[in-house]
Amino acid sequence: MGKSQYDIEVLCRKYIDLSISEEELKAMLDYFKDYGIPEAFDHLLRKEFSNTIAHNLSGETEDLTDKVKLKLRKHIASKKKSDLNRWLPYVAAVFISGMIGISWFTFSPKADDTVVSEIDIMPGGNKAKIILADGRILTLDESRSGIIVDEKEITYNDGTSTVLALESPSPQWLTLSTPRGGTYKVTLTDGTTVWLNAESTLKYPTHFAKGERIVELEGEAYFDVKRVQTDNTAAHFKPFKVVSANQTITVLGTEFNISAYHDEEETKTTLVDGKVRVETPRSGEELTLLPGEQGKNGKNGLEKSKVDVHDYVDWKNGEFVFRDETAEEVLERIARWYDFEIDNSKYLPSNEVFSGSISRYGNLRTVLDIMQEAGGLTFEVKNRTVIIRNKIKN
């Protein structure tokens, strides 16, 4: 099975941050050969960066291209020279997009302190386990990005091997679980695809019985729900429901993101496409979301607002997008992906906010450097703990 557009975008970002493996680089380049390089890269650039920003960086193109040539040759020295020359301009374009992506990260006030780091922490990756109905645990291959479930077996989404043969004809409940620093994708038997973010669990049946399709979520996931007819009448579709954090979301065919971490005060449902109904069984409240709307379920009950969807599906697209978030909120999100603990959070300022974008596939030191250049924070990394200081107040 070939790579999806999402998979390729992730690989492009990993190349930008020099965290791509030899195998991943080969997969990315093979995709370009099969499906066309300009389209793939232009899609990435158009989606995230305006022509104005790209124009402002045009003077750096030649220098960046030289740097990319050196790095690319180091990765694929065995490739033919003709192929290498064909790929270079587009890889350079992606590298430039990475530079743009980190250039607008802002914070006030600004300080010039230096990060002190004894070690560096690498970003998360494809990590997950399947918990079977009988309690057995299967650790999934980190070199694969997802699994496909059908009534007879579970296979990796690249079609190379079988994870598990399913012997029982009756539905069995399975749990896909990602740790801190892990993400994985699962395609369910009805064709619905779910991207699971770090520190999340999805409970789902090996196949859906007649009637409703129901799954359970704790943590964060992006759903692309497949429309399934209940009969030959096009107007009748089998409902798909997601149960999470004291609420139930009912959909027919749609794309949406749910963030329902147990340690957060609100559950957020962000609709990308289609239509969903959010219900809270305890209070009896409900609301309907349209594209570009977000439903919050918290201490004030259900609330609806218009949002920039991109800000809430950033993790699926391989980046962190922060919009007027406190340093504590930023670090909590980063910590879940890089799998570290935060010490001395009392030094974090509460009256300033961060806004900006950072790739999820850079090393932690890179992320902390950007945060520190933008604000009055200093960081020391010991083992898997980030110790925070606020020099402005000390």
- Would you state the pLDDT for residue 96? 37
Question: Strand pairing of 240-244 and 213-224?
Answer: parallel
- Would you state the pLDDT for residue 45? 43
How many residues appear in the chain? 394
pLDDT tens digits along 332-383: 999 999 999 988 777 777 777 778 888 888 888 888 887 777 667 788 888 8
Neighbours of 147 (CB within 10 A): 23
Q: How many angstroms separate the first and last alpha carbons of the chain?
A: 56
CATH number of the 125-311 domain: 2.60.120.1440
Q: Output the pTM of the full model.
A: 0.71
For 74, residues 6+ apart whose C-beta sits below 8 A from its C-beta are none
CATH number of the 116-121+318-390 domain: 3.55.50.30
Question: Strand pairing of 200-205 and 213-224?
Answer: antiparallel
- Would you state the pLDDT for residue 346? 72
Cα 250 to Cα 231: distance, rounded to the nearest angstrom: 19
With a pLDDT cut of 90, the percent of the chain lying above it is 35
- Would you state the pLDDT for residue 2? 53
Cis before 109 (ω within 30): yes
Using alpha carbons only, what angle is made at residue 148 by residues 36 and 20, rounded to the nearest 5 degrees?
45
Domain ranges of the chain: 5-103, 116-121+318-390, 125-311
Tokens of 139: 């650790």
Cis before 179 (ω within 30): no
pLDDT tens digits along 83-124: 444 444 444 444 433 333 333 444 443 334 444 445 678 889
- Would you state the pLDDT for residue 140? 95
Tokens of 191: 């064709």
Q: Which residues of the chain have pLDDT under 50?
A: 1, 37-117, 394
Given CA atoms 27, 11, 195, 225 in this order, what sign does their dihedral have?
Answer: negative
- Would you state the pLDDT for residue 28? 75
